[in-house]
Structure 1
Amino acid sequence: MSSELRQRHKPSSSKPSPKTSTSTPSNNARGISILDILRVLATLIIATLGLSYYMTGSESVLFGYRPWFTRLPVVLRYIQGPLLLTPTELSLYNGTDPTLPIYLSVNGTIFDVSANPLVYGAGGHYNFFTGRDATRAFVTGCFKEDLTPDMRGVEEMFIPIDDPEEEKMLSSGERKKRREQDLRIARQRIQTQVAHWEGFFRGHKKYFEVGKVVGLEEVIAKEEKRELCTAAKQQRGRREGGGSVKGKE
């Protein structure tokens, strides 16, 4: 009896109920990693470069933008430093020697135009510009007569032809003042045109600056002063009454 009571009152060794467990995210449900972002960006960049290459006709992967450091000839010239060539040395780079680049000069600045041999190479339409400084021809448009850096007298093409009757009415002081004003305006126009052509070659996506011509002053000093070519004379306007200028039609 007593043993039965002991068994009846024996504490049960029941296991404690497990705690309610919270679910944890599995490895398959992780967030976006940095690696995933980099993959997406790389895919977008490659796709953009490919689209540019296709749209520009296989010429550029940056939609026509070509920084100077992506062009090997420009980088090499930058490393080597600017060239200093005399007019005689510059004459060798006229496109006749296939082992040499093609150079031309505007206002003493030398540009490499080798990327366009059909235009500036031997037999090209503008080959006569190469191997020399032909600044005068760039301004006057006289490609046969004015392939020279000598700009003396070019300002006359921008000075209007005076009306003889009006000229008689001016005093010598007034004529002198008008002449000085005409020269000042003409030289400004020359500078503008020369700067335009320098900017054309300097900013061109295929051409680039390589150096300077030295000794041009000595060459010009030895030449006789040129007359204004016929084509340039024909571009002069006529001054009408009141000082206004009528352009050549």
Structure 2
Amino acid sequence: MPHQPHLEETQAISVFTPVNLLLLTLALYLIYTRLRPNPSPPPPLHSSSAAGQAIVFKTFTPKTLQPFNGTDNARVYLAVNRKVFDVTAGKGFYGPGGPYSNFAGRDASRGLALNSFDAEVLTEVGAPIDSLEDLKEDERVALNGWAEHFEGKYLLVGRLVEEGSEEAKEAEKEE
């Protein structure tokens, strides 16, 4: 009598069942969404005028930046790593009476690096721009974090250069 195969021998177990394929697809999708690079954020949507004037990228010195403190001018600007940002949208923080008001119209780099809002840590307006050479590694990391914050949230309106530098002289000619 010929050998009759058992039921187990005649059925091949398949891992490719509809349920398993669905679970595999879901798992791959979840892995993809967690590991894919984040798309770059869209440029910030800010009002380009505080007094009906267009904002033009320009070169600032500490003295020409100072009037943008929210008191002397409707706009509030501050500099971080020699980049000047229009923080008027955050006037409650950076404008007069705000917790960061010491930074308005100034180079805020050292204060942000040290996480200090004290006026003593800021460079005097008539002095050369702070080189920040003496910052410790953790202070540089903090400053870079702040710079990324401003770049992602506020409009870049200019750059900060030394008084009397060639860039400052060129900017004066253009005005």
How far does residue 152 in structure 1 lie from its aligned partner after superposition? 3.8
The answer as to 2:68 corresponding to 1:93 is: yes
Structure 1 residues 140 and 212, CA, compared in 2 at 3 Å: closer, same or farther? same
Runs of 4+ with >6 A deviation = none
Give SS of 2:111's match: helix
Report % sequence identity.
34
The answer as to 2:162 corresponding to 1:212 is: no
TM-score normalised by L of structure 1: 0.41
**What is the CA deviation profile of residues 163-218 of structure 1, one whole-angstrom value per residue up to 9, with x for unaligned ones?**
xxxxxxxxxxxxxxxxxxxxxxx3xx4442222111101111xx211110110798
Contact 2:46 2:155 in 1 (8 A): no
Provide structure 1 residue ranges, at least 5 long, that are not aligned to the other structure: 1-65, 156-185, 219-249
Contact 1:120 1:127 in 2 (8 A): yes
Contact 1:108 1:216 in 2 (8 A): no
Structure 1 residues 114 and 70, CA, compared in 2 at 3 Å: closer, same or farther? closer
Q: Which residue of 1 aligns with 2:109?
A: 135
Contact 2:77 2:104 in 1 (8 A): yes
Contact 2:59 2:161 in 1 (8 A): yes
Q: Distance in 2 between matches of 1:106 and 1:126?
A: 13
Structure 1 residues 190 and 142, CA, compared in 2 at 3 Å: closer, same or farther? closer
TM-score normalised by L of structure 2: 0.56
Contact 2:44 2:152 in 1 (8 A): no
Contact 2:113 2:142 in 1 (8 A): yes
How many residues align? The count is: 115
- The equivalences for 1:1-249 within 5 A come to 67-68=42-43, 71-73=46-48, 76-77=54-55, 80=56, 82-97=57-72, 99-144=73-118, 145-148=120-123, 150=130, 151-155=132-136, 186=137, 189-204=138-153, 207-215=154-162
Q: Which moved more, 1:104-113 or 1:116-125?
A: 116-125
Contact 1:93 1:102 in 2 (8 A): yes
Higher Cα radius of gyration: 1
Query: Structure 1 counterpart of 2:114, which letter?
Result: T
Superposed CA RMSD: 2.9
Task: Write 1 or 2 for the structure with the bigger share of helix.
Answer: 1
Structure 1 residues 124 and 190, CA, compared in 2 at 3 Å: closer, same or farther? closer
